[in-house]
Chains A and B, each alone.
Chain A
Amino acid sequence: GQQVQQSPASLVLQEGENAELQCNFSSTATQLQWFYQSPGGSLVSLLSNPSGTKHTGRLTSTTVTKERRSSLHISSSQTTDSGTYLCAPHTGNYKYVFGAGTRLKVIA
């Protein structure tokens, strides 16, 4: 089945720095979403990006489908960005498989 690896496992930044999160998966994805989970909070879909580059606010995601990888760039990080970022591809069956996530901490 689909295997999803996210790196780094954790990241600490000073406020204002940029973050680059990576997601690699074992099977070609027809759909991929990035999610955010605040500590003790629910999952929120940040963006959907099965291929190419997508922007929303300070977030940019680039997915290279044939290389089975996606990245999430967070520019000018803020303390409120702290939390866990999860990548979830599916292979056309709508069965999203989640990575273990990248735990981001932004310090003021």
Chain B
Amino acid sequence: NAGVIQTPRHKVTGKGQEATLWCEPISGHSAVFWYRQTIVQGLEFLTYFRNQAPIDDSGMPKERFSAQMPNQSHSTLKIQSTQPQDSAVYLCASSLVQNNERLFFGHGTKLSVL
């Protein structure tokens, strides 16, 4: 079991460019989460899928952020027209949906917007 895999580990974009982040959840996990971590804001919830369906995207900045889960083996987070304030570590996590389920996090993608 390779755990949750996130690619790339680091991404540098220029202001206004697009960034696409990839996540491969643990096989068999039906829930996938995206979080963002910064020193100032800490860990912020972005969005959550269950069985590939979007359940809660209340943490997503609506205008430029979008997330998809086209199949059970991967999810993507796309940021259009990146801004310096988007610089953060973007974390993907997966879990089984059952009592006392544990969240398993990937190593994250560090996005730097210049």
A interface, over-half SS? loop
Residue of A nearest to B103 (CB): A45
Which chain B positions have C-beta within 8 A of A101? 42
**Which interface class (under 10, 10 to 19, 20 to 34, 35 or more) fits A?**
20 to 34
CA distance A44 to B103 in the complex (A): 8
Chain B residues lying within 8 Å of A99, measured Cβ to Cβ, are: 42
Does B106 make an interface contact (CB < 8 A)? Answer: yes
Question: Are A45 and B31 also in contact (CB < 8 A) when A86-B43, A98-B42 are?
Answer: no
The answer to the question of B101 belonging to the interface, with a C-beta cut-off of 8 Å to chain A, is yes
Asked whether A78 is an interface residue with its Cβ less than 8 Å from the other chain, the reply is no
Flag if B102 contacts A33 (CB, 8 Å). Answer: yes
Q: Measured between alpha carbons, how far is A12 from B104 in the docked complex, in Å?
A: 28
Taking the nearest CB of chain A, how far is it from the CB of B23, in angstroms?
13
Total contacts A to B, CB within 8 angstroms? 50
Residues of chain A within 8 A (CB-CB) of B107 are: 41-42
In-complex Cβ contact of A50 among B100, B104, B105 (8 A): B100
Interface of B, helix, strand, loop or mixed by DSSP: strand
Chain A neighbourhood of B108, CB < 8 A: 42
- Which of B42, B101, B104 lies in contact with A100, CB distance below 8 A? B42
Q: Report chain B residues within 8 Å CB of A45.
A: 102-105
Chain B positions 61-114 with a Cβ under 8 Å from a chain A Cβ: 91, 93, 97, 100-108
- Partner-B contacts on A (CB < 8 A): 31, 33, 35, 41-45, 48, 50, 86, 88, 93-101
10 further A-B contacts with Cβ under 8 Å, apart from A43-B105, A45-B105, A94-B56, are: A33-B103, A42-B106, A44-B105, A48-B100, A48-B102, A50-B100, A94-B55, A94-B97, A95-B48, A98-B42
List 24 A-B residue pairs with CB atoms under 8 Å apart, sorted by A's residue number.
A33-B103, A35-B105, A41-B107, A42-B105, A42-B106, A42-B108, A43-B91, A43-B93, A43-B105, A45-B102, A45-B104, A45-B105, A48-B100, A88-B43, A88-B103, A94-B33, A94-B97, A95-B45, A96-B33, A96-B45, A96-B103, A97-B45, A100-B42, A101-B42
